[in-house]
Amino acid sequence: MSLLNPKLILEYISIPRVLFWAMMLALVWPFIHVRWRRRTIVTAAVADGPVPPPLPPLVSAEFLNPSTILRSLILFNLLFAAQSILDGIYLWGHVALPDNLTYAAYAHRGAYPLIATALLAAAFVLVAMRPGGAAEKSKVIRPLVYLWVGQNVLLVASSILRLDLYVDI
């Protein structure tokens, strides 16, 4: 019961981290926010004219349509590019790690996201690029998938280097 003290909980909240994630949400939100139906425009109706049919939905009912896949791939590639840049700076560029981070912690922090991203990449590619699907024929989506898979391979190579540095230390 002593751990439920609100003062203790507030000690674990980092204002810079909250601001960082709020900024990330603001940057990512336009990619994930989708209007599900078109807005109807109210106009003065002519009494003698026929009533127009309702507008079709803007987004199809299919969960992974090509526009959703495209936005997801853009986000995934940007996220993986940021991680690859950080790995390039700290691993391949031989820049010293921050003071409070050891190579053991750095190796452990890289292992679990690698497993998650590998499973995510495999599942996403299998579902999104299914044979006969609309995304399979897209000339924009296919190169983004190749780029994403390539970045996964780069993350695996970075993870191997992290482990090698950890073992050497």
Tell me how long the chain is.
169
Other Cβ atoms less than 10 A from the Cβ of 154: the count is 16
Report the C-alpha gap between 125 and 114 in whole angstroms: 16
- By C-alpha distance, which of 108, 86, 110 is closest to 98? 86
101: three-class secondary structure by DSSP: coil
Q: Are 165 and 103 in contact (CB under 8 A)?
A: yes
Mean of per-residue pLDDT scores for the chain: 77
Return the sign of the alpha-carbon dihedral for residues 14, 17, 23, 25. negative
Residue 37 has pLDDT above 60, yes or no: no
Residue 60 has pLDDT above 50, yes or no: no
Q: Is 91 exposed, middle or buried (0-12, 13-18, 19+ CB in 10 A)?
A: buried
Q: Summarize the confidence of residues 148-154 as an average pLDDT.
A: 87
Q: Are 106 and 162 in contact (CB under 8 A)?
A: yes
The set of residues, in sequence order, having a beta carbon less than 8 Å from that of 30 and lying 6+ positions away, is none
Return the sign of the alpha-carbon dihedral for residues 46, 47, 51, 55. positive
pLDDT tens digit sequence for 15-28: 888 899 899 888 88
Radius of gyration of the chain (CA): 23
Q: Are 66 and 135 in contact (CB under 8 A)?
A: yes
pLDDT tens digit sequence for 128-147: 777 877 677 788 888 888 89
pLDDT tens digit sequence for 100-123: 888 788 777 777 777 787 787 788
